[in-house]
Amino acid sequence: MTLTTPFGNYQYEIYLAGLGGVLPQLPMRFDELERRAEAALSPSLVSYIAGGAGDEFTQRINTSAFEQWGLVPRMLRPTAERDLSVELFGMALPSPLLMSPVGIVGLAAQDGHGDIATARAAAITGIPMIASTLSVDPLEAVAAEMGDTPGLFQLYTPTDRDVAASLVNRAEAAGYKAIVVTVDAWIPGWRPRDLSTSNFPQLRGHCLANYFTDPAFLALLDKTPVDDLSAAVAKWAQLFGNMLTWDDLPWLRSLTDLPMIVKGIGNGEDARRVKDAGFDGIFCSNHGGRQANGGRSAIDTLPEVVEAADGLPVLFDSGIRSGADIVKALALGATAVGIGRPYVYGLALAGAEGIVHVLRSLLAETDLIMAVDGYPTLADLQPNALRRNLFAGTHYTPNA
């Protein structure tokens, strides 16, 4: 099943239900969504999901930087019908929205199988899931729940090349349509919230199903993970965190004929080099502010990445909290926009149903902004649709 009606019609469903005395059980605002989800999660999961690097300045500026941009309203345009569809790596998608990979999403569900719930939400909405290497359930089981919705597989490249090749081959065999290689998380960032509770879920054996079911990884063990969990986790710790360099890109590119995207790019020079190395897409992201504090906001880096990509698809995430944010990222050149924390919070509250609510809410706002402000198609959202806001709030100063 894929949502086929105008996305903005979700508001009418809510209003009509209200006529019968049925009020929304899930939050309509992000701040309430975050508050209620954090109350439903364990303190260790809250620290991992909500926390960022250092004093979390980069995480905060990722969201507040959107305030520097304002969409120019253009009235009296024919926007009764909107087209949010996009072609991406041969996939015909109903919208430009994606679910970014979140390595702890499996634990955020009440039944402990959040990867499966996310895949089911993808099947319901038609919004692709980028499945993380760090998963509670094996990548094959996750792919089986996606229905007709295409999925992408995110690769944390292990230091053992045979294990890396095995993970990619499994993803291809399972039907994933592209590989997203994350390059900004080969080592954990300095995360005070997690450090204060000594919280590193993978070192406790969580979210390692893709390794513990991988033949190349299992061949490196004397005993199975079931027989010796501590030894298996220790072996994983040795393999995780390949500090990739430009010299590794030809080998990575050779692993599959699937489209391959490099995630974690935050400047034009790196974007040009990724394109020159023969990759199919660039993912502009700073890992949601979780890896390195003190940097620029992701949305500030997007225009130069798009310019350097010179027509190559540019995916974007880090800081998206609303439909307005999605519209602005698209206007600045993003081909598709990923969300992370918002859908994880929806998952924490109501499983797949909670994710679907968050996705539909974001798409409804996106659709309605385009309708009201005179932008019937994604092609109409160009950089000239945005202007700088003179007063963007007290917590963010453009170009300061």
Active-site residue list:
287
318 annotated to a ligand binding site: yes
103 annotated to a ligand binding site: yes
328 annotated to a ligand binding site: no
Distance CA(206)–CA(226), nearest Å, equals 13
Closest CA to 129 of 352, 332, 362, 363: 352
4 annotated to a ligand binding site: no
Residue in the block written with tokens 């605002």: 29
20 annotated to a ligand binding site: no
253 annotated to a ligand binding site: no
287 annotated to a ligand binding site: yes
Give the chain as a 3 state SS string.
CCCCCCHHHHHHHHHHHHHCCCCCCCCCCHHHHHHHHHHHCCHHHHHHHHCCCCCCHHHHHHHHHHHHEEECCCCCCCCCCCECCEEECCEEECCCEEECCCCCHHHHCCCCCHHHHHHHHHHHHCCCEEECCCCCCCHHHHHHCCCCCCCEEEECCCCCHHHHHHHHHHHHHHCCCCEEEECCCCCCCCCHHHHHCCCCHHHHCCCCHHHHCCHHHHCCCCCCCCCCHHHHHHHHHHHCCCCCCHHHHHHHHCCCCCCEEEEEECCHHHHHHHHHCCCCEEEECCHHHCCCCCCCCHHHHHHHHHHHHCCCCEEECCCCCCHHHHHHHHHCCCCEEEECHHHHHHHHHHHHHHHHHHHHHHHHHHHHHHHHHCCCEHHHCCHHHEEECCCCCCCCCCCC
133 annotated to a ligand binding site: no
35 annotated to a ligand binding site: no
147 annotated to a ligand binding site: no
Pairing of strands 97-99, 386-388: unpaired
74 annotated to a ligand binding site: no
51 annotated to a ligand binding site: no
- Report yes or no: 10 and 361 within 8 Å, Cβ to Cβ: yes
290 annotated to a ligand binding site: yes
285 annotated to a ligand binding site: yes
345 annotated to a ligand binding site: no
135 annotated to a ligand binding site: no
126 annotated to a ligand binding site: no
154 annotated to a ligand binding site: yes
177 annotated to a ligand binding site: no
182 annotated to a ligand binding site: yes
For residue 192, give both structure tokens. 């005070």
Residue in the block written with tokens 């926009």: 337
Binding residues for FMN: 101-103, 154, 182, 285, 317-321, 340-341
Binding residues for glyoxylate: 48, 132, 156, 191, 263, 287, 290
